């Protein structure tokens, strides 16, 4: 059966997307949701710690960008944690210029030209660049290899509460949740590239306490078990296609 929906898996970062087609982004609240709800043609997706379900029953074309930590305040004038886990209409953040920007992208036709226009648009919308707070920037760099939040807090020179607040404001997620997503990203890459590796070995290599912990967290992030994900083996790692009934 041809896939009708897909689970979009968390990456830990925000994204901005313009739909360059006649179908708005349609999301579903749960597996039993038959109709879903349209979210529009120009959207900002906040950083997430779990998957969301979207419609893929009809062909669609989009142009967009992944946004680094700190981009929310630079581009939209609000902290990243205010839209974390949500899709927000760009018009609600930029007003009518959001619709005008989509019209220009539609007129461009060629993908290369659309990407150039998007880059120019984002550059023009940047407020006075403030950059990331040094403590947050340092933590993000360390989290690429070491997922020790207590160490990042100690190195920051701030209290635990102050550090968490600054991190969430820039990233949208708490440091602990962000590190969980990074660990999931690491194991996901191994699931797709090394089909012969056992899940027990993958769990151990990624730092999970045991396979039960790994299975539970994998399902939380994807909506399916590791074995089901490997059987589907999507062509795009973070886009898991499912049939009309997306329940595993």
Q: Give me the residue label for tokens 């879903």.
A: 36
The domain spans of the chain are 5-125
Helix (H) or strand (E) holding 239: strand 239-242
Q: Give me the residue label for tokens 């969301």.
A: 52
Dihedral angle sign, alpha carbons of residues 227, 208, 218, 212: positive
Tell me the Ramachandran region of residue 223: left when phi exceeds 0, alpha when psi lies from -120 to 50, beta otherwise: left
Q: Is the pLDDT of residue 75 over 70?
A: yes
pLDDT-based confidence at residue 3 (cuts at 50, 70, 90): confident
pLDDT-based confidence at residue 127 (cuts at 50, 70, 90): confident
Classify residue 128 by burial, with Cβ atoms within 10 Å: 0-12, 13-18, 19+: exposed
pTM to 2 decimal places = 0.89
The region of weakest confidence among 43-52, 72-81, 129-138 is 129-138
37-76 burial code (b ≥16 CB/10 A, e <16) = eebbbbbbbbbbbebbbbbbeeebeebbbebebbbbbbbb
pLDDT-based confidence at residue 244 (cuts at 50, 70, 90): low
pLDDT-based confidence at residue 43 (cuts at 50, 70, 90): very high
Rounded to an integer, the average pLDDT of 65-83 is 93
Q: Is the pLDDT of residue 246 over 70?
A: no
Percentage of residues in the chain with pLDDT exceeding 70? 95
């Amino acid at each position: 059966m041809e896939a009708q929906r897909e689970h979009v898996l968390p990456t830990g970062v925000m994204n901005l997307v313009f739909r360059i087609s006649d179908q708005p982004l349609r999301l579903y609240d749960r597996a039993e949701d038959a109709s879903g709800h349209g979210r529009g043609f120009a959207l900002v997706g906040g950083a997430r710690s779990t998957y969301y379900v979207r419609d893929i029953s009809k062909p669609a074309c989009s142009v967009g960008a992944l946004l680094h930590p700190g981009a929310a305040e630079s581009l939209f004038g609000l902290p990243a944690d205010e839209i974390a886990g949500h899709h927000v209409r760009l018009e609600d953040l930029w007003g009518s210029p959001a619709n005008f920007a989509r019209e220009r992208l539609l007129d461009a036709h060629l993908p290369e030209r659309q990407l150039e226009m998007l880059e120019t648009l984002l550059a023009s919308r940047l407020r006075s660049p403030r950059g990331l707070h040094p403590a947050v920037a340092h933590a993000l760099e360390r989290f690429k290899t070491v997922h020790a939040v207590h160490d990042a807090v100690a190195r920051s020179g701030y209290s635990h509460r102050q550090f968490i607040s600054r991190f969430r404001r820039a990233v949208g997620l708490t440091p602990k949740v962000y590190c969980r997503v990074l660990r999931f990203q690491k194991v996901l890459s191994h699931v797709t590239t090394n089909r012969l590796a056992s899940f027990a070995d993958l769990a151990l290599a990624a730092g999970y306490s045991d396979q039960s912990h790994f299975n539970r967290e994998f399902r939380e992030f994807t909506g399916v078990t590791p074995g089901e994900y490997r059987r589907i083996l999507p062509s795009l790692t973070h886009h898991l296609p499912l049939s009309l009934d997306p329940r595993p």
